[in-house]
Structure 1
Amino acid sequence: MARFLLLFSFLLVTLVFGVSDAGSPAEVYWRSVLPNTPMPSAIRDLIYSSNEASQAATEESVGSIFFLGKSLRIGSTMTLHFTRATAGASLLPRQVADSIPFSSSKLPDILSRLSIDPSSEMASSIKKTLAECEANATAGQIKHWHCATSLESMVDFVMSSLNSRNLRTMSTFVSKDATPNQKYTITGLNKVKASELVACHAKRYPYAVFHCHPVKATLYTVSLIGDDGSTVKAKVPGHYEDISPAAYNKLGVVPGSEPAFHILPQDDILWARVNLDPIS
């Protein structure tokens, strides 16, 4: 029911604003503000999402599995399960997203509007996402962040953070729509030149929500092949910020002594400034 209501609202806005041969309103908006930036599949897939929600999307994300730089070498193996937090979700236009409450204090109203059972797993995910979006930054972790509930909101935040309209996007590509939890072998490794980044992490929610924040990281593109033959072109950032002491303890090193790496989930997006041209 929630999915029907969200898609109905999306279609209503589409009818109001019109869809021309140039594409959907989201695509028209994208080209108007980011004419030199190709729209990534992580966003395009959400504009007219028709996927059903996936139980696998609730499992531990590859983005929460940390490892040290010594593991980044050709021939190394790791067990991974690529899932989508946005499985079954759609990216809403700003007009629709802004009409829906997005606050822990409004949780009963949110559940009612979206026809979500308060005892359901999705209700728990909504509560968790709202809490994360409202949490205060702690010393040594994220200094500035934004939870984007629409494409326009995300792009506004990224352009402001990087002070540019000349941007590129990077994400992880998986060759198969669904892959099992399996062993992957690293077959290629390349360092990416990017001094300033904004990371937008997809959150589990009835519609697409991204938790975005600036980050300084060493970034690699890593090629992997799974036991089932599926291939992955993964973006792998390594950074000191936004890494919990527990993660460092699990790695067996002193917190902050070296960067901790993780694989970017396939529905997360990294943004980088192509040059230093400021927003006009």
Structure 2
Amino acid sequence: LATVCHASSSPAQVIYWNSVLPDTPMPRAISDLITTGPRVNVGVGVGVGVGVGVGGRKHHRGTGVNVRVGRMPFVYRYAATDTQLHDDPNVALFFLEKDLHPGAKMKLHFTNTISGASFLRRRAADSIPFSSTRLREILDRFSVEPNSAEAAAIKQTLRDCEEPAVRGERKTCATSLEAMVEFSTSSLGTSKVKAASTTVSKEGTPAQEYTVAASGVREMGGEELATCHAEPYAYAIFYCHATSTSRGYEVDMVGKDGTTVEAAAVCHTDTTAWNPEHVAFKVLDIKPGSAPVCHFLPQDHVVWSRSG
């Protein structure tokens, strides 16, 4: 599930990663955000792509971020929305832990939830306002129209990030790679970590039935995990939360068309503090606390665990 990046002639974030996590291969969900390309000025000596798409339709402003406006299903305080239940392909990524075994068949659609936004270095990210109270300033900085879909996405991300954590959970919104690494390693209490993301052998693969391969389910270390979910924004933002009541898995699957997937999955063993109307309970037809709730990660999300 990982891509090894080397420090020679590498961007500063890769050099940082290799110095702090020398034994941890960088997953593709992270390495894909350390890129060069067209950029726009954000007024702090760096640049980012700006723009969003709604419901699969792209609206270009610069070289944009393709986002979905709406509540992220991995924020457990939120109730389900009609859009999530009927239109959101990520809903299909929820499943029950008992159903995760070799030979299991699941209809799934693996996607990137957003695309196009690169990481800022921490110094630059920390110099930019990141608060609902300064929304207008943020929109002005990125030349985003206040009544646009872009503005709605930015506003929702700020709201997600400002929601309090549920009981038994730590959370933050990491505005840089450095912030994500520090949150994950401090939550796990070690720098000896594994970082995994979902990779699909063929891009653009449609929703289809996948079969879990023989010996294709591997548990990640322990029940303490940190999971980071990509959020739509003008630059890379990750909603990260950590809990001691989760299990992580790496799962090998094969689709009907031969597409192979190395999927990262998280199972939550204690859901009693979640909103009873959360989308996972609706999809799985269960009640809070009745059974572990699991979900595969979209391709641009990351799960962290101890490596040993």
Q: 2:196 aligns with which of 170, 187, 192?
A: 170
Aligned to 2:83: none
CA RMSD of aligned residues (A): 2.5
More helix by proportion, 1 or 2?
Answer: 1
Kindly indicate whether the alpha-carbon contact (under 8 Å) linking 1:49 and 1:88 is maintained by their aligned counterparts in 2.
Answer: no
Q: How do 1:38-77 and structure 2 match up within 5 A?
A: 38-48=25-35, 56=56, 57-58=67-68, 60=88, 62=90, 65-77=93-105
Partner SS, residue 157 of structure 2: helix
CA gap 1:61/1:103 in 2 versus in 1, 3 angstroms: farther
Q: 2:205 aligns with which of 179, 186, 196?
A: 179
Letter of the 2:26 partner, please give it: M
Aligned to 1:152: 178
Letter of the 2:122 partner, please give it: R
Aligned to 2:295: 262
Kindly indicate whether the alpha-carbon contact (under 8 Å) linking 1:78 and 1:185 is maintained by their aligned counterparts in 2.
Answer: yes
Letter of the 1:229 partner, please give it: G
**Deviation string, structure 1 residues 9-45 (Cα, Å, up to 9, x no partner):** xxxxxxxxxxx84411111111121122122211111
**Deviation string, structure 1 residues 132-176 (Cα, Å, up to 9, x no partner):** 1001234x4x53111001011111111211121111111111112
Kindly indicate whether the alpha-carbon contact (under 8 Å) linking 2:103 and 2:213 is maintained by their aligned counterparts in 1.
Answer: yes
Aligned to 2:10: 23
Aligned to 1:90: 118
1:233 aligns with 2:262: yes
Partner SS, residue 201 of structure 1: strand
Letter of the 1:194 partner, please give it: G
Give the structure-2-normalised TM-score: 0.74
Q: 1:245 aligns with which of 276, 298, 304?
A: 276
Kindly indicate whether the alpha-carbon contact (under 8 Å) linking 1:185 and 1:225 is maintained by their aligned counterparts in 2.
Answer: yes
Cα distance in 1, alignment partners of residues 184 and 109 from structure 2: 28
Cα distance in 2, alignment partners of residues 192 and 49 from structure 1: 35
Q: CA deviation at 1:272?
A: 1.2
CA gap 1:262/1:270 in 2 versus in 1, 3 angstroms: same
Kindly indicate whether the alpha-carbon contact (under 8 Å) linking 1:50 and 1:88 is maintained by their aligned counterparts in 2.
Answer: no
CA gap 1:28/1:177 in 2 versus in 1, 3 angstroms: same
CA gap 1:237/1:84 in 2 versus in 1, 3 angstroms: same
Cα distance in 1, alignment partners of residues 163 and 177 from structure 2: 22
Q: CA deviation at 1:238?
A: 1.2
Cα distance in 2, alignment partners of residues 21 and 65 from structure 1: 37
Letter of the 1:163 partner, please give it: G
Q: Relative to structure 2, which stretch is displaced further, 214-223 or 104-113?
A: 214-223
Partner SS, residue 140 of structure 2: helix
Letter of the 1:199 partner, please give it: T
Aligned to 2:3: none
CA gap 1:219/1:145 in 2 versus in 1, 3 angstroms: same
Cα distance in 2, alignment partners of residues 173 and 243 from structure 1: 28
Aligned to 1:5: none
1:191 aligns with 2:201: no
CA gap 1:181/1:243 in 2 versus in 1, 3 angstroms: farther
Letter of the 2:25 partner, please give it: P
Letter of the 1:39 partner, please give it: M
Letter of the 1:264 partner, please give it: L
Q: Relative to structure 2, which stretch is displaced further, 62-71 or 101-110?
A: 62-71
Partner SS, residue 133 of structure 1: helix
Structure 2, unpaired ranges of 5+: 1-6, 39-48, 57-66, 69-86
Partner SS, residue 221 of structure 2: coil
Letter of the 1:166 partner, please give it: K
More strand by proportion, 1 or 2?
Answer: 2
Q: CA deviation at 1:257?
A: 1.4
Give the structure-1-normalised TM-score: 0.81
Partner SS, residue 30 of structure 1: helix
Q: CA deviation at 1:243?
A: 4.7
Cα distance in 2, alignment partners of residues 226 and 54 from structure 1: 27
Cα distance in 2, alignment partners of residues 260 and 244 from structure 1: 13
Kindly indicate whether the alpha-carbon contact (under 8 Å) linking 1:49 and 1:89 is maintained by their aligned counterparts in 2.
Answer: no
CA gap 1:271/1:85 in 2 versus in 1, 3 angstroms: same
Q: CA deviation at 1:177?
A: 2.4
Kindly indicate whether the alpha-carbon contact (under 8 Å) linking 1:194 and 1:219 is maintained by their aligned counterparts in 2.
Answer: yes
